[in-house]
Amino acid sequence: MTAIPFAISARHKGFNRAEVVDQNFIEFVQLWNGEVRAAPRDDAAVLPGSALDARGFRELLESQLISRHLDLMARVLRVQNKVFYTIGSSGHEGNAMVARLTRHTDPAFLHYRSGGFMAERFRKIPGMDPVMDSALSFAASKDDPASGGRHKVWGSKPLWVLPQTSTIASHLPKALGTAVAIEQARRIGHQLPIPDDSITICSFGDASSNHATAQTAFNTAAWTAYQKLPAPVLFVCEDNGIGISVKTPSGWVANNYQHRANLDYFFADGLDMAEGYAQVQRAVEHCRTTRRPTFLHLKTTRVMGHAGTDFEIEWRSIEELFAVECSDPLLRSAGIALESGLYSKDELLNLYEATRKRCFAAAEDADSRHRLTSLDDVMAPLAPYTPAAVKAEATRADYAEKRLAVFGGEAKLPEKLPPRHLAIQIGQALHDLLAKYPEALLFGEDVAQKGGVYTVTKGLNKTFKGSRVFNTLLDETMILGLAQGYANMGMLPMPEIQYLAYFHNACDQIRGEAASLQFFSNNQYRNPMVMRVASLGYQKGFGGHFHNDNSITALRDIPGLVVGCPSRGDDAAMMLRTLMALAKVDGRVCAFLEPIALYMTKDLYEAGDGQWQFEYPAPDQAMTLGEGRVYDEAANDLVIFTFGNGVPMALRAARTIEAELKWQVRVVDLRWLAPLNDAFIAAQARTAKRILVLDEGRKSAGVGEGVITAIVEGGCGATPLHRVVGADTFTPLAGAALLVLPGEADVVAAAKELAARS
């Protein structure tokens, strides 16, 4: 290997480090004086003993140069406000080897330093231009084929690169989930959109490997492999030794991952393509042939800092910067190019400058294109909704024979049975949906043989077997990562989160990943799913905060997420059909909140009255997104807006109010909590003499705030109004829970307070 002269970098002590790195390459080539070999044939090794042939080296070098000049271009044009992103790939260009040795049909979830990988993967489909596509993304142009100008992401629909934002390891669970889904498809007879022997690729930095989300993916990968279940994921840890300014202890990555059971470790030198190519090749072939989770430790470096705003000279010694800049992989690639005889000095410098010119020309072109200029344009892919198609899908009932087989004959169809309570009807609806959608999967903690903590999923595992209804490990992050993986492979996942409080452990898998994918891919990729969550308060005999979580703020704050919450069984069945249709047709991410306290509720007013049991709706019945349910439409003395547990509570309180105040009371069940149907709320409020908003959630940031906003903005702000809500506290154990949750007496007292005002 030709030595890289330390003096090159040192001569530029006072310069901008991007300029230094650029000049280092030029001077390295100009000053190179090593021995030149006879140029090899295209199919011969680029250097003796290397597994990389000459043609492959040429193309990889071109990909490296494209990546480097895109970085340099971004640093120059950012200050001119022509590009809007400066986190670069400089020092990581060796990841182009991973792209070359994998297929464009291997789904890739990439680190943001993946310029080399992307440039090389573009070769897989003739006619695609990595420079122009990347320039459009840097410029936030509407013509950007990855995100339509919404973010600088590495992504491509034809190249199976699913866009990632600047996340820290949050993409690892869904990458593993996609690998598991590739194998799961075979078990359920699902046709994959990619070849059956595909693998998934997931790249990240050494600093990110320490993140809890990364650790949960590694643990689950090993947990899967331990059971001899295939999980063909190639984890590529691009180790540059630093995370922004925090150094990774020397040897940490190798020491931490080299001997992990059921996570197969490989090392590759990403700074030297002649040496590293065979090492990467071994890892890729191992992953593809064994179908085991594989950890590729790729040695890289980081030149030009974390991003354009990172002035390393302010916190890093100049000697250390010189040493890092001299480890630049492009200098080693230049040395190979010259030593092998593939390029003369002039030819290499001409290629370098031609690539620079190409990148700058593309950037200037991209800057002249249109950008997003309206809110409608920005939000267009966030929450697509085609009402007619969703209704047609939700009410589609062309699977009668499958229903008969699932339920055991005509007489046992749920619509033929007597009225039943919420838990039973959710279970019946899930049987229905799994019969209707052969690509649907239901999974989570305890959902299979046990049938869930509350037996809601009882019988599903027996009917649909373990390939479609199965238990997972106790890790909500990974449950939602699996859901995204199944969705990526064209399936319809129904993950269960055992309690709402447990969702908060894994919220970013929905907020930062699943719900953002349509937005950041311009609706080219989707994560359709229906997440079932046992929710809300008033659970008797098994309480405390973690089993009586009434806060859904974290869900309602996620852009594009649909949140539904039924209070009765027939509504639950119809809502589930609509949610599955929203996922199937529009790719929506949906949350279905199941009120635990109402699971087994049969009575409404008195014990034994059976008035909270309802007939099961036939499969051609569904509920329109945003459609509420109104009890006693004509009543207008008092209108109570509520949802979930609040509905039967409000109906019981209404009886007392009618008796004591002689008011006619209307109860409005919102049913859909995100997005709230503002027009429906305002329409109900306009005919009300008085309004109560009953929200069992906390006073701060609850659903009630959104309801009141809709009322006021709908022109009903002058109508006397009162809110009945939970306290701003966690829910305590036992009877003390009722001190912080609203009750019927609170609703009646609020009505009397309204009466006192008039």
Q: Angle CA(724)–CA(729)–CA(735) in degrees, nearest 5?
A: 80
pTM of the predicted structure, to 2 decimals: 0.95
What mean pLDDT is predicted for residues 510-534? Answer: 95
Distances (CA, A) of 135 to 37, 70, 149: 37, 8, 11
**Is the CA virtual torsion 33, 37, 39, 43 positive or negative?**
negative
The Cα–Cα gap between 674 and 555 comes to 8
Torsion of CA 741, 746, 750, 753, to 10 degrees: -130
Q: What is the pLDDT of residue 9?
A: 55
For tokens 């290397």, the residue is 50
Structure token pair of residue 430: 């899930």
Residues above pLDDT 70, as percent of the chain: 97
What mean pLDDT is predicted for residues 300-318? Answer: 88
Q: What is the pLDDT of residue 1?
A: 43
- Least trusted range by pLDDT, from 1-5, 174-178, 656-660: 1-5
Q: What is the pLDDT of residue 758?
A: 75
Structure token pair of residue 624: 């329109």
Could you count the other beta carbons within 10 Å of the beta carbon of residue 79? 10
Which residues, at least 6 apart from 590, have a Cβ–Cβ distance to it below 8 Å?
A: 529, 530, 531, 561, 562, 563, 564, 579, 582, 583
Measured over all CA atoms, what is the biggest interatomic distance in the chain, rounded to whole angstroms? Answer: 102
Could you count the other beta carbons within 10 Å of the beta carbon of residue 670? 28
pLDDT of 165 above 80: no
pLDDT of 311 above 90: no
Q: What is the pLDDT of residue 11?
A: 59
pLDDT of 301 above 90: yes
Which residues, at least 6 apart from 622, have a Cβ–Cβ distance to it below 8 Å?
A: 391, 394, 395, 574, 577, 578, 581
CB-facing half-sphere around the CA of 44: CA atoms within 13 A: 10
The Cα–Cα gap between 138 and 152 comes to 6
Q: Do the domains 20-366 and 629-757 sit in the same CATH topology, yes or no?
A: yes
Q: What is the mean pLDDT of the chain?
A: 94
Amino acid at 382: L
pLDDT of 308 above 90: no
- What pLDDT digit, counting tens, does each position of 43-53 carry? 999 999 999 99
> Domain segments of the chain: what residues?
20-366, 380-598, 629-757
The Cα–Cα gap between 313 and 17 comes to 9
Length of the chain measured in residues: 758
CATH architecture, range 380-598: 3-Layer(aba) Sandwich (3.40)
The Cα–Cα gap between 37 and 52 comes to 16
Structure token pair of residue 551: 């806060």
pLDDT of 705 above 70: yes
Torsion of CA 327, 329, 335, 340, to 10 degrees: 150
What mean pLDDT is predicted for residues 314-330? Answer: 92
What mean pLDDT is predicted for residues 522-551? Answer: 86
For tokens 């230094």, the residue is 20
- What pLDDT digit, counting tens, does each position of 237-274 carry? 999 999 989 999 999 999 999 999 999 999 999 999 99
Q: What is the pLDDT of residue 541?
A: 65
Asked if residues 515 and 561 have their Cβ atoms less than 8 Å apart, the reply is: yes
Q: What is the pLDDT of residue 548?
A: 75
What mean pLDDT is predicted for residues 374-396? Answer: 96
Q: What is the pLDDT of residue 2?
A: 47
What mean pLDDT is predicted for residues 733-745? Answer: 88
Q: Phi and psi (nearest 5°) for 234?
A: -105, 100
Residue, of 310 and 155, whose pLDDT is higher: 155
Asked if residues 27 and 4 have their Cβ atoms less than 8 Å apart, the reply is: no
Asked if residues 32 and 331 have their Cβ atoms less than 8 Å apart, the reply is: no
Amino acid at 267: F
Quote the DSSP letter at residue 496: E
Could you count the other beta carbons within 10 Å of the beta carbon of residue 127? 5
The Cα–Cα gap between 366 and 542 comes to 60
Structure token pair of residue 317: 């010694």
CATH architecture, range 629-757: 3-Layer(aba) Sandwich (3.40)
pLDDT of 5 above 70: no
> In angstroms, how far is the first alpha carbon of the chain from the final one?
90
Domain 20-366 in CATH 3.40.50.970? The answer is: yes
- What pLDDT digit, counting tens, does each position of 452-492 carry? 999 999 999 999 988 999 999 999 999 999 999 999 999 99
User: Which residues are paired to 56 by β-bridges?
Assistant: none
User: Which residues are paired to 141 by β-bridges?
Assistant: 371
Which residues, at least 6 apart from 600, have a Cβ–Cβ distance to it below 8 Å?
A: 421, 422, 423, 454
The Cα–Cα gap between 575 and 644 comes to 13
pLDDT of 546 above 90: no
